[in-house]
Every structure is written in C-alpha cells, then in structure tokens.
Amino acid sequence: MEAKASAPGKVILFGEHAVVYGKPAIAVAVDKRAVIKISENKEDTIKVYIKNLNISATIDQLNNHIIIDNGNPGILKYVLESLKRVHDASPVTIEIDLDIPIGAGFGSSAAVTVATLAAASKYNHKNLTKKEIAQKAHEVELSVQNSASPLDTTISTFGGAVYLAANAEEIKKLELNWTYPLVIGFTPRKEDTGKLVEKVRLRKEAYPDIINPLLDAMGILTETALKFIIEKKYSYLGELMNINHGFLDCLGVNTKELSNMVYTARKTGALGAKITGAGGGGSIVALCPENNLKILSALKNIEDAIEVNISHEGLEFID
Ligand code: PMV
C-alpha cells in the first residue's frame, strides 16, 4: 500500500505581517513543490527521508518524538503534527521530495504539511476534502509555530492566486492570468517566522499610535492591489510592492541584504520589488514583465535567486 500527494510553495505579494492583525493579504502558488510518498514498511517505526536535504529521521508518533539520524529537524515537526491528525501510527516510510528552498519564505512548511496530510489521509482511507485538509494544515502550523495566518496553507491547498479578506473571513481565488515571471532573491533566514512575528508584536506594543495606523495602511494597500488585479491593471502593482517594502521596513523585518536585493532588482528593471514572507533574511520578490534574466543574474551575483511562475495547481493526489 502506498499513497502520494504534492503541494506547491507560495509567494506573498501583499499583506505579510499585517495579516496576523486581521488585515487582508494576497499570495500566489508557485511552480516549486513538495512531493510526499507514504508506503508500508516492514520495520516497527515511522521513517522519514528528505533526500535532497540529506535528512533522515525516525518518528515516534505515539510518544510525540522525532529522532534525527541526520540533518535539521525543523520541517519534521510539521510532518509529525500532520500524522497525529490523520495517521494511525502504523509503521510507514515517508519520502519527501522538496524543490522549495526551506526557511526562505516560500511556504515550504505549508507545502510539506498539506501534502503530508493528503498522502497520509489517503493511505488511511480517509476521504478528506481540500477544505478539510486546508483547515487541518492550518491547525498544524498553529501548533508548531504558535501563531500563523491561514494564508500559506490555503494557497498551498488551492493553488493559483488567493485573496484572504480581513480577519480571514473570506478566501477568494483570483483570476490572475498573468504570465510574468517572478524573480525571487533569497538569503538564509537568521530568525524563524515565529520570532519575526513576535518582533513586530513588540514594536506594535511599544508604539501603538505609530504601528496601528501603519498596519491599517498596509490593509488599504492590499485592497488597492486587489482592485488593480480585478481590473487587470497589473502594471500598477509594481509601485504598490515598493510601498509595501517600505512598510515592512518600518515594522523592523528588513535587513541590509534584503534591501540590497530590492534596490538591485529595481535598478535592473523590475516593475516593483519587496520583501516576501516574514523577512529578517529570507526572500524578496521582484515583478519582472521584462528583464527577468538580467534581474536573475544581478541577484545571483549578490545573493542567490530563482525564477518562479504562478502555478494554478494546488494540492494534487498522485496515482
Ligand atoms: O515567511 P513565511 O512564508 O513564513 O511567511 C510569514 C507570513 C507572516 O505574515 C509573517 C506570518 C503569517 O502567519 O502570515
């Protein structure tokens, strides 16, 4: 018996951090995916392998414990929490194939969570709907990270472009028939998402009269971007991305390396560029209707970079 599923990573275009305070956000799924295969094994434990990251581990689901043979355990916490929700703890081998860089704001943890929940629920003959998987995936992120918006897990489940309305009251799939590549520049992240969310919270508590209106303005910015996307006025999005980058700087999640990449991308011809995800290292996204190869190579010269395209495929069960 074996079951297989895959789910995409994501890039947040507008609204990171503000989304934690109930503001809207817009994100797109990208053509970088996590593929999970679960198969029966003859051992008496759950084994996990992530070949391309050289990670191998044993999961003791009943005792809530991960024993690492090799590599960094971070992402395996999401695997364990996912199994606890849909798997009966029987011995299986879990093979993870990840072409999403981890810890760089690409939603690798959400993609691994969504694909693990899907593969494990199929393995256990539980017919969960995509909506149920997205809900459980959000619970997993909450239990591992303490705080998380449903943005990453929603986008990884449903694919395409997603607008998350204020207070996560509505999740709308957007028509974004846009074939521009996105260039992503990335650096290793020094702090994890939870710590960066906490850093913003402390700044908000220290200066509520300054930070609260800023978060309100970030919400208005995302609504403005939504209007331009609906009207297909994509060229207006660049300037909004630049303004959004400034707001994220005010929240304290920018770094010299990220700013350097943002300004390099703009100078090399990007329509707009900003931090994407939690910041503090991690990634920037540049909107590149033209000059994408030039921008890619300029960013590779200073840090690292890849080109991604929007993926309309969300979670997929693989036969
Ligand atoms: O960097 P990422 O992909 O983990 O994105 C975090 C986005 C935040 O808004 C900072 C947190 C969240 O849960 O939405």
Question: Which domains are delineated in the chain?
Answer: 2-176+312-318 (3.30.230.10), 182-308 (3.30.70.890)
Query: How many C-beta neighbours within 10 Å does residue 167 have?
Result: 11
Mean pLDDT estimate for the chain? 93
Nearest to 167 by CA among 19, 319, 62: 19
Q: Is the pLDDT of residue 92 over 90?
A: yes
Whether residue 169 has pLDDT greater than 90: no
pTM of the model: 0.90
Give how far the C-alpha of residue 185 lies from the chain's centroid of Cα atoms, to the nearest Å: 15
Out of 152, 247, 274, give the residue to mutate to test ligand 1, the one with the largest number of ligand atoms within 8 Å of its CB. Answer: 152
- The per-residue pLDDT for range 5-25, each reduced to its tens digit, is 999 999 999 999 999 899 999
Dist. CA 67 → ligand 1 center (Å)? 27
% of the chain surpassing 90 pLDDT: 78
Protein residues whose CB sits closer than 6 Å to any atom of ligand 1: 16-17, 19-20, 105, 107, 148-149, 151-152, 193, 197, 277-278, 282
User: Span 57-76, mean pLDDT?
Assistant: 90
Give per-residue pLDDT as tens, 261-301. Answer: 999 999 999 999 999 999 998 899 999 988 999 999 999 99
Task: Calculate the dihedral angle through the C-alpha atoms of 295, 25, 83, 312, rounding to the nearest 10 degrees.
Answer: -60
H or E element that contains 12? strand 2-14
Select from 16, 100, 109 the residue to mutate for testing ligand 1; criterion: most ligand atoms less than 8 Å from CB.
Answer: 16
Answer yes or no: 152 catalytic: yes
Residue 72 scores a pLDDT above 90: no
- What average pLDDT does this structure show over 195-223? 97
